[in-house]
Structure 1
Amino acid sequence: MRRSGPLVIVLLLATACARMGTALGPASASLVIRGDGGSVGVEVEIADEPAERARGLMGRTQLPEDRGMVFLFEEETTSAFWMKDTLIPLSIAFWGADGRIAAIVDMQPCRTDPCPRYSPGVPYLGAVEVNLGWFERNGVAIGDRVELRV
């Protein structure tokens, strides 16, 4: 029995290490948007797993001006976003397989059902949420190119 103690500790440590990727939350990267007016960057968390995409920015009371969250999909989708339990107003840009922004939508917090759903109206591969008005303040427009630097 005494010899099983170290084995149990090793197994617990191995389990903890295996879960660290999800326990620490989404990975992060730099997102650069290039357009006619130049380029602008934002540091983003990457939500590329279903649970991360479902959680999004729910429950956050603030988002630094130069931060956001990227939602990545393996295949083009037409899924809509909603703001249930999201406490801050956001803007979202959707881009397609060509890497160009196809739509920009402003979204308001929602605390009670039913919440509105926000969709670009076209298939997309990725989306980035930032503080409300960030795209306008930074001169980002439909047709600008998105580059994710991991």
Structure 2
Amino acid sequence: MRHPKTLIAIALLATPLAGCASDGDWVELKGVRIAVEIADEHAERQRGLMFRDRLERGTGMVFVHEREQPLAYWMKNTRIPLDILYFDAQRRLVSVSNAPPCSAERCPPYPARGPAMYVLELNAGEAESLGLVPGDTLTLGPGVPERGAP
């Protein structure tokens, strides 16, 4: 029989932590570090934050596209309200969209106001609380793939 402390340690290691960024990945906005999950492949970007019941404060998901282009995100099967932040290849903020949850078959798209390469999704209201304005720069942590010019 295993020791009770060993069982607790195994249980803790096997339990996924909601909103916790794997490998300590992060981005930074206005001096605030945000733990992120990275979606840099098509299937990851397509699933995004679908079916999640919550997103921990101070965490998010960063979507990395192959090139700067017109982008529009939608919230199908997304259960939490989010801020969608679009950044160009130089990682300057292009626009912010506030998106409510949507479980309908036809959810509205939220297009960027200009070409974008990086998208950051945060809990609704976090962009406002950070005081973000177009042109603010996104700093990528070492684990986040860079595809555009810094």
CA deviation after TM superposition for structure 1 residue 98, in Å: 1.9
What is the aligned length? Answer: 122
Q: String of CA shifts for 1:36-65, please: whole Å, max 9, x gaps.
A: xxx212100000000000000000000000
Secondary structure of 2:25 counterpart: strand
The unaligned stretches of length 5 or more in structure 1 are 1-24
Change beyond 3 A, Cα 1:28–1:46 = farther
Amino acid at match of 1:104: V
Residue identity over aligned pairs, in percent, reads 39
Secondary structure of 2:46 counterpart: helix
Q: C-alpha distance in 2, partners of 1:134/1:40?
A: 11
What does 1:1-150 align with in structure 2 at a 5 Å threshold? 29-34=25-30, 39-149=31-141, 150=143
Secondary structure of 2:118 counterpart: strand
Secondary structure of 1:53 counterpart: helix
Amino acid at match of 1:123: P
Residues 26 and 52, structure 1, Cα contact 8 Å, conserved in 2: no
More strand by share: 1
Q: C-alpha distance in 1, partners of 2:126/2:69?
A: 24
Q: C-alpha distance in 1, partners of 2:22/2:33?
A: 19
Q: C-alpha distance in 1, partners of 2:83/2:23?
A: 21
Q: C-alpha distance in 2, partners of 1:55/1:129?
A: 13
Aligned CA RMSD, in angstroms, stands at 1.6
Q: Which has the larger radius of gyration?
A: 1
Q: C-alpha distance in 1, partners of 2:92/2:24?
A: 21
TM-score by length of 1: 0.77
CA deviation after TM superposition for structure 1 residue 140, in Å: 2.0
Q: C-alpha distance in 1, partners of 2:79/2:137?
A: 29
Q: String of CA shifts for 1:112-131, please: whole Å, max 9, x gaps.
A: 12110011131101010000
Q: C-alpha distance in 2, partners of 1:40/1:27?
A: 18
TM-score by length of 2: 0.77
